[in-house]
Chains A and B, each alone.
Chain A
Amino acid sequence: MESRILAYVGGRLKVRGRLEVEKHLAECAACCLRVSEFSAVSKLLDELPLIEPSPEFDMRVHARVAAEPQPKASWWDWMRVSPRIAFAASMLLLMALWLGYRAGTPNAPNIPNNDQAMMQDLPVLEDHDVLQNFEPLKDLPPGPEDDDADAQQPQRM
């Protein structure tokens, strides 16, 4: 009962507990006296006035808080990058890898088929031009093929 008397005096018991204590108090003069005395003590404690903090109190707290060093970022905090930066960095890396791959492969120029055939014939045509314009060859007597060609020319005209 001792532990419940104080709770009873302080009004901290639930309905059931309070009724139980009151039932006991009706039969026990000693506990009844104790409740009366503890209630008196509790009321006496209420007589102490509250004090207000001094007007400088808040200012002092703020000053002390302001004087606090900012928390140092640990090396692990430094390692923690924001998701945006991580995304941008991975995109850049992917782009760099892709460009590197492109530069490493022997890529044929994208040329249409006709032009490609012409390009392949270019060395032959160049040889033909050289031979036709080669001065020493012009002084040579015409070959049998050339005779035929000359013989045929007037007919064409």
Chain B
Amino acid sequence: MVRTDVQLMLDVKAGDGNSFELLLQRYRTPLVNFLFRMVRNREQAEDLAQEVFLRVYRARQDYVPSAKFTTWLFRIATNLALNSVRDNRYQKLEVSIDAPVSMDAEDGDERTMDVPEKHPNIEQHLVEEARRKMIRRAIDKLPEKQRAAVLLHKYEELDYAEIAKILNCSESALKSLLFRAYEALRVELAPLVAQQARQ
């Protein structure tokens, strides 16, 4: 029988290290992906994901299953990611004064991603890579809170109530936030959207 997240967390609270291991196995990939899409840097995303697990471990004694475990987990992750994005923005502002103009900041660490070589046609692969780059850039351009809302809604498939709790807003405010985010993405990805709509 599969133990729920709350049961696992209560076992961690009781001192069971194996339950913490199971939570780590269950959530490391979604967390790293969510954080990678938030901060656009793989190494930083992994550091932040480790910090999330560490905070979960530290808080085990005070854990009370008052909400869904995922709500709590992604709330920690979102707060860390938002802080990190804000810190990075200030760092970039400071660095950009002396930085060389040719620095390809937009690419970030995208090249470190492991994209499986599915297509023998290099041209097609390049086209797909350009599409992905455009999508990533569109997501990056979203304000942080909108970005977090889209990622939690689209990739983590959390319900509106959970996302609202994570982002500390009402459900109606969240729906409005998501609508504006999708509108911005629609505008930013207009060529691709038109292409997609034709298919």
Contact B32–A53 (Cβ < 8 Å) = yes
Please determine whether A3 and B179 come into contact, CB atoms closer than 8 angstroms.
Answer: yes
Pair count A-B, CB < 8 A: 104
Flag if A57 contacts B197 (CB, 8 Å). no
B36 near A51: Cβ-Cβ < 8 Å? yes
Beta-carbon contact of B135 and A68 below 8 Å: no
CB contact between B50 and one of A2, A48, A64 (< 8 Å): that residue: A64
**Is B192 engaged at the interface, CB distance under 8 Å to the other chain?**
yes
Known: A38-B182, A65-B54. A58 touches B28 (CB 8 A): yes
- A50 CB contacts on chain B under 8 angstroms: 29, 33
What is the CA–CA distance of A60 and B54 in the complex, to the nearest angstrom? 10
The answer to whether B114 has its CB under 8 Å from any CB of chain A is: yes
**Which of A39-47, A82-90, A137-145, A146-154 sits within the interface?**
A39-47
Q: Classify the secondary structure of A's interface with B.
A: helix
Give the interface size class of chain A.
20 to 34
A8–chain B nearest beta-carbon distance, Å = 12
Assuming the contacts A40-B193, A41-B186, A65-B57, asked whether A6 and B131 have C-beta atoms less than 8 A apart, the reply is no
Known: A50-B29, A50-B33. A57 touches B49 (CB 8 A): yes
Chain A residues contacting B135 (CB-CB under 8 Å) are 44-45, 47-48
A113 to chain B, nearest CB (A): 67
A123 is an interface residue with CB less than 8 A from chain B: no
User: How far, in whole Å, are A6 and B154 apart by their CA atoms in the complex?
Assistant: 11
How far is B114's CA from A2's CA once the two chains are assembled, in angstroms? 37
Given contacts A3-B179, A6-B178, contact A61 B24 (CB under 8 A): yes
Q: Which residues of chain A are within 8 angstroms of B150 by Cβ–Cβ distance? A: 45
Given contacts A44-B189, A45-B154, A47-B132, contact A65 B20 (CB under 8 A): yes
| Mask: chain A, 3-45; 1 = CB below 8 Å from B; 0 = not | 1011100101000000000000000000000001110111111
Quick one: which of B33, B42, B50, B139 has the most chain A CB within 10 A? B50
> Which chain B residues border A7 with CB–CB below 8 Å?
160, 175
B residues whose Cβ falls under 8 Å from a Cβ of A: 20, 24, 28-29, 32-33, 36-37, 42, 46, 49-50, 53-54, 57-58, 61, 113-116, 128, 131-132, 135-136, 139, 150, 153-155, 159-160, 172, 175-176, 178-179, 182, 185-186, 189, 192-193, 196-197
- The chain A residues found within 8 Å of chain B, CB to CB, are 2-3, 5-7, 10, 12, 36-38, 40-45, 47-54, 57-58, 60-61, 64-65, 68, 71
